Amino acid sequence: MTGNDSWIRNFVDGKFVEPIGDDGLEKRDPATGAVLARVDVAGADLVDRAVESAAEAVGGWSHTPPGERAELLRRTARRIEERFEEFVAAEVADTGKPIRLARELDVPRAIANFRAFADLVVATGEDAFFTDLPGGRRALNYTVRKPLGVVAVIVPWNLPLLLLTWKVAPALGCGNAVVVKPSELTPSTAVLLAEVLAEVGLPAGVYNVIHGAGATGDRLTAHPGIDGVTFTGSSATGTKVMANVAPRVRPVSFELGGKNAAIVFDDVDLAEAVAGLSRSVFTNTGQVCLCTERVYVHRRIFADVVAGLADSARALRLGSPTDEATTTGPLISRTHRQKVLDYLALAEQEGARAVVGGGIPTLGADLDGGAWLEPTLWTGLTNSDRAVREEIFGPVAALIPFDTEEEVIALANDSDYGLAAAVWTNDLRRGHRVAQAMHVGMAWLNTWFLRDLRSPFGGMGLSGIGREGGAASLHFYTEPTNVCVQL
């Protein structure tokens, strides 16, 4: 993946590119702060080469029969299974997440992504309609879908392998070539996937990886050879990508930020709801776009939910990511931790009371150099406070009481974001009613983070543009041509 030294290389036209010079970005262990490797930054010339390589390769790949492309996706899934622990180790080293989370979520979901889209690309039919014409004649309209071409794939640092394969599997399955820019903080699994795709026979140039920060992404998304952009990341970066793409009017798929709400009614099974809330607030140290940062609880059970969720937070085990007993890892970097700490200070100024957490833990040994933060719960905030309105992206949530269904629907929908929500109630009629009233792309009822990969995923407002998953992904990565024949 990185050769015989500590460099993480770019991958262009089926080959790893040797670094030029000694410059590069430091890749640090989030758990300790130690430098693990250097990331070779792709300059403008290498970005151009990657796009040109993809453009040269896409013609042959796009004409490969769908069944053969699907079989390559299945071989990829099998090869990831064979190299399972390598992917786990790379993901843990990059992100600092607990090893059991990588084993139970990230790598299995990557495998599932390839298998799901292998089935979908050969099972999804096209539209066809007969039209009656004057005089008894008819016309046939049918649609054929063709690959977009060269797609820029930009993925974030929180779930790098999961989100990379969520985009790359349908893109390749539909016959596109891709130029991938992983986060400069978490580049390893994108490079490891390059090895796997070469091993299973993907033609050179169809999958390329370039490394770098904002300048690299700007060069890629503004490149005239790019036919579409799929991006997951912050809303602020999404607006920059949109500005780069706008002059050429290329299609985009954006999954951006969230300020997700959970609604807890007073008829719930308290233990079940608290367990679900704890998962939704603290999974991956709160660094998931779907994590809950606003918890609205019926006033009659507010104290009980606050106490139960605080107990759950205290029970989380912070520690070495490679320890099987660890449940909670560090934040991605000390820079990101400072951003979260700034929000903790802001919340205190706005009147927040920390029920639990709010500081930096002392873990001893090498871990004190990492980006650790105590899981934190607040009361005392309102919907008008910035800490309740702005995405924080950490193990943090505000708990706010409510009295009526109408009130809590208004509170939950009072957001510039619209990604996800969760409703907890034993009254299923009310549950369906409230879930359908949420201005979000995905609403859960008595669960969280459960999905069918065939269903559409995405958000409204500052949470994104378009949908991914199932037919939505296949439609984004292809362009339709309608053929009309008078019979």
Q: Which residues are catalytic?
A: 255
CB 310 within 8 A of CB 413: no
- Per-residue DSSP letters for 122-175? HH----EEEEE-GGG-EEEEEEEEEE--EEEEE--SSSHHHHHHHHHHHHHHTT
SS3 label, residue 475:
helix
- What separation in angstroms does the CA of 36 have from each of 5, 184, 370? 11, 13, 13
Q: How far apart are CA 426 and CA 24, in angstroms?
A: 54
Largest CA distance in the chain: 86
For residues 310 and 356, the answer to whether their CB atoms sit within 8 Å is yes
* Residue 36: how many other CB atoms lie within 10 Å: 15
Give the residue carrying structure tokens 């403008």.
44
Token look-up 């978490």 returns 186
β-strands 442-445, 396-402 pairing:
unpaired
Residues 438 and 461 sit within 8 Å (Cβ to Cβ): no
Whose CA is closest to 93, among 11, 169, 173, 8? 8
Measured in degrees and rounded to the nearest 5, phi and psi for residue 368 equal -70, -10
Going by their DSSP bridges, the two strands 150-154 and 252-255 should be labelled as unpaired
Question: Residue 422: beta bridge partners?
Answer: 262, 444
The answer to whether 466 touches 256, Cβ cutoff 8 Å, is no
Tokens matching residue 468: 């991914």
Strand 252-255 with 228-232, pairing:
parallel
